[in-house]
């Protein structure tokens, strides 16, 4: 069975110790403020879209593609951010829900 959404984090061979120190000391500043601000408003939009999608699924039996893609972008973005802050990767997460 193929799932419609997958999320994969490649385990790096080596993580930077300097980035580790930077994330621990200033992660809330350079990650939390810009990404948190954007994700907060994006999350409000996703909540509205999911409420509307609930009714669409109830009456049509299908999750509308545009609504699904919008929701997936939000969850990918937040999961990329979580993986970065959980020291699972060194690449700064992009400001999008792209892979």
Helix, strand, coil percentages for the chain (3-state, nearest 5) = 65, 0, 35
For the chain, how many structural domains are there in total?
A: 1
- Run means of pLDDT, 10 residues per run, the chain, 99 residues: 76 80 83 90 97 96 94 92 85 76
Query: Does 35 map to a domain?
Result: yes
CA 14/CA 72 separation, integer angstroms: 29
Sorted by sequence, the CB contacts under 8 Å of residue 2 that are 6+ apart come out as none
Q: Which domain holds residue 73?
A: 17-85
Q: Tell me, yes or no, whether 10 lies in a domain.
A: no
Residue 93: what pLDDT? 84
Domain assignment of residue 3, yes or no: no
Judge whether 96 lies within some domain.
no
* pLDDT at 77 (0 to 100): 92
- The reply to whether 67 falls in a domain is yes
* Residue 58 located in a structural domain: yes
**Residue 71 · residue 49 · CB < 8 Å:** yes
pLDDT of residue 7: 77
pLDDT number for residue 64: 95
């Amino acid at each position: 069975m193929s799932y419609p959404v997958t999320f994969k984090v490649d385990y790096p061979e080596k993580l930077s110790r300097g980035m580790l120190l930077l994330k621990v000391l200033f992660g809330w500043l350079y990650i939390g403020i810009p990404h948190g601000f954007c994700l907060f408003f994006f999350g409000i939009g996703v909540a509205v879209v999911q409420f509307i999608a609930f009714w669409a699924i109830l009456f049509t039996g299908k999750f509308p593609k545009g609504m699904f893609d919008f929701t997936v972008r939000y969850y990918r973005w937040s999961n990329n951010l979580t993986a970065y802050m959980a020291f699972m990767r060194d690449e700064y997460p992009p400001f999008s829900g792209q892979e």
